[in-house]
């Protein structure tokens, strides 16, 4: 049994060291004094930059081992280093603050506090001066009081206590010369509570859901005034204009709908298509109105006017069947009328533009052209008579008319050209004599 004791000791030791959660460092800790344990911790904290924790831990070491030179030295070193670092960073902070470099001023003051957590001036700059860089300030001079400052600054002595409270000062106590006071904005316009944008957006959203579009526009405008460019407000206004535009489209109030769509932001999805569709609808409406007008004119036998309106519709919409029919109808009747009036050229010109299959258009056109050819022949003969009588000018006029009625007349052009040359020659001789 006695021989087993060393083996048993080893087994227990091994179990204690390996079987449980403890580590070798723990074991070392167990073998060292409390002061040494905290010394190790203090060194670790110091090297990892946790200086306040390191300082406290060194103090624990110093308390546990009163004459510990390393602890005393470490405490003195950290305290001195902290003081010096705090002083340096605070001065840097002041420099940055005075030059208006507020981000770096803030960083320097915070670094000051990392080294000296209770540095009052650094706290003051961080909490007061850097929080209120836009706030006007006033430096207290000899003879100043809150009342006097209030009278001078606000022309209102009753605001004295407001300045005091705003600066966390007791209005009953005298002011210290050199104190920097923040001057609160006390104009009545500043007393109006600023509008809560989110609340306004919620209201606008609800109004939109209830289709209260006018309210949406008013709220969106209010938000725009308070917070220009708010995307949600813009979207709500756009959506309201879009929905209202569609509602107006359903009521066939196209121009009103177009006005709504045009107020939507360019980027709003569906805007361009809505505008294009509405414009198409407006054009269609205009066409229908014109068709009605043409029909009325046709019923009143105002062929020319009806023809002009139908022609106008077809100019914008060549495939419009109703307009084509009206065009043919009016043109046919007008052509017939012109033919009856002997206005052959106009009648033929008109009838040639109409579908020859419409009524007896083709036949009328043939009649008109036949009459034009016959008249052309008559003019040609008159021209020949004038030529024989040496009246060249009258001959040329007749042949011109013959050609206007029948541009393909086989002789009129040649005879006219010859007569013109002769006439020119005669005039030339006369001028030489």
Partner 1 sequence: MLLCILAAAGCSGHFMPPVGGPSAIETNDFVMVTAGPEDSLVSLARTYLNDEDKAWQIAAFNDIETLPSGQRVIIPLKPLNPGGIQHDGYQTVPVLHYPRLTSKRSTSKAVHALDFKRQMQYLNENGYSTISLDQFYAFLSKGGELPPMAVAVTFDTTRSWAYEIAYPILKANGLTAAIFIRTEDVGKKGRMNWTQLAEMAADGMDIGLHGSHMKPPAKEDVKTFLEDFEKTLSEPKLTIKKQLKIPYRYYAYAGGTSNDLAIAMLKKHGYRIGFSREGGVNPFFADNFKIKRSTIYGDYTMKQYHQNLKTFQAAELK
Instruction: Catalog residues that contact partner 1 under the rule CB under 8 A.
Output: 9, 12-13, 16-17, 19-22, 25-27, 29-30, 32-34, 37-38, 49, 52-53, 56-57, 59-60, 63-64, 106-107, 110-111, 113-114, 117-118, 123, 126-127, 130-132, 158, 161-163, 165-166, 168, 184-186, 188, 190-196, 198-199, 202, 206, 209
Alpha carbon separation from 259 to 193, 208, 231, 247 (Å, rounded): 35, 19, 22, 13
Alpha carbon separation from 81 to 42, 346, 351, 391 (Å, rounded): 16, 112, 110, 130
For partner 1, the closer of residues 57 and 329 by Cβ is 57
For partner 1, the closer of residues 59 and 148 by Cβ is 59
Instruction: Tell me the closest approach of the beta carbon of residue 137 to partner 1, in angstroms.
Output: 13
For partner 1, the closer of residues 191 and 388 by Cβ is 191
For partner 1, the closer of residues 114 and 215 by Cβ is 114
For partner 1, the closer of residues 53 and 212 by Cβ is 53
Enter the tokens of residue 300: 């009143």
Instruction: Tell me the closest approach of the beta carbon of residue 264 to partner 1, in angstroms.
Output: 23
For partner 1, the closer of residues 173 and 194 by Cβ is 194
Instruction: Tell me the closest approach of the beta carbon of residue 317 to partner 1, in angstroms.
Output: 45
Instruction: Tell me the closest approach of the beta carbon of residue 117 to partner 1, in angstroms.
Output: 5
Instruction: Tell me the closest approach of the beta carbon of residue 286 to partner 1, in angstroms.
Output: 42
CA distance 181 to 175: 10
Of 148, 90, 138, residue with least CA distance to 117: 90
Instruction: Tell me the closest approach of the beta carbon of residue 6 to partner 1, in angstroms.
Output: 13
For partner 1, the closer of residues 220 and 287 by Cβ is 220
Enter the tokens of residue 106: 């803030």
* Phi, psi (deg, nearest 5) at residue 252: 60, 25
* Phi, psi (deg, nearest 5) at residue 138: -145, 130
Instruction: Tell me the closest approach of the beta carbon of residue 274 to partner 1, in angstroms.
Output: 25
């Amino acid at each position: 049994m006695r021989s087993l004791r060393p083996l048993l000791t080893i087994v227990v030791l091994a179990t204690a060291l390996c079987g449980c959660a403890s580590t070798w460092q723990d074991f070392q800790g167990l073998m060292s004094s409390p002061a040494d344990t905290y010394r190790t911790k203090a060194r670790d904290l110091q090297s990892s930059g946790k200086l306040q924790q390191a300082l406290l831990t060194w103090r624990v070491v110093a308390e546990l081992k009163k004459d510990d030179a390393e602890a005393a030295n470490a405490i003195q070193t950290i305290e001195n280093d902290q003081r010096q670092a705090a002083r340096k960073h605070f001065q840097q902070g002041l420099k940055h603050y005075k030059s208006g470099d507020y981000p770096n001023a803030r960083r320097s003051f915070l670094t000051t506090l990392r080294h000296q957590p209770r540095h009052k001036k650094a706290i003051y700059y961080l909490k007061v001066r850097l929080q209120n860089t836009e706030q006007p300030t006033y430096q207290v001079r000899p003879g100043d009081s809150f009342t006097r400052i209030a009278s001078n600054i606000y022309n209102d002595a009753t605001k004295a206590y407001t300045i005091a409270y705003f600066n966390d000062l007791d209005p009953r106590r005298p002011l210290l010369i050199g104190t920097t006071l923040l001057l609160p904005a006390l104009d009545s316009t500043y007393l109006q509570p600023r509008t809560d944008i989110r609340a306004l957006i919620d209201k606008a959203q609800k109004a939109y859901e209830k289709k209260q579009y006018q309210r949406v526009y008013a709220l969106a405008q209010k938000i725009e005034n308070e917070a220009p460019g708010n995307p949600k407000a813009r979207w709500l206004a756009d959506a309201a204009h879009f929905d209202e535009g569609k509602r107006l489209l359903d009521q066939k109030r196209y121009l009103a709908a177009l006005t709504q769509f045009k107020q939507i932001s360019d980027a709003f999805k569906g805007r361009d298509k809505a505008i294009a569709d509405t414009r198409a609808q407006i054009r269609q409406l205009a066409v229908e109105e014109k068709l009605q007008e043409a029909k009325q004119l046709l019923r009143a036998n105002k062929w020319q006017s009806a023809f002009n309106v139908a022609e106008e519709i077809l100019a914008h919409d060549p495939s419009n069947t109703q307009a084509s029919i009206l065009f043919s109808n009016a043109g046919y009747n007008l052509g017939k009328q012109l033919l009856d009036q002997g206005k052959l050229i106009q009648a033929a010109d008109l009838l040639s533009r109409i579908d020859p299959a419409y009524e007896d258009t083709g036949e009328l056109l043939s009649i008109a052209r036949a009459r034009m050819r016959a008249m052309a022949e008559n003019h040609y003969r008159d021209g020949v008579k004038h030529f024989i009588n040496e009246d060249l000018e009258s001959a040329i006029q007749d042949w011109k008319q013959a050609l206007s009625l029948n541009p393909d007349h086989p002789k009129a052009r040649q005879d006219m050209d010859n007569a013109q040359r002769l006439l020119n020659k005669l005039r030339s001789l006369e001028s030489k004599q």
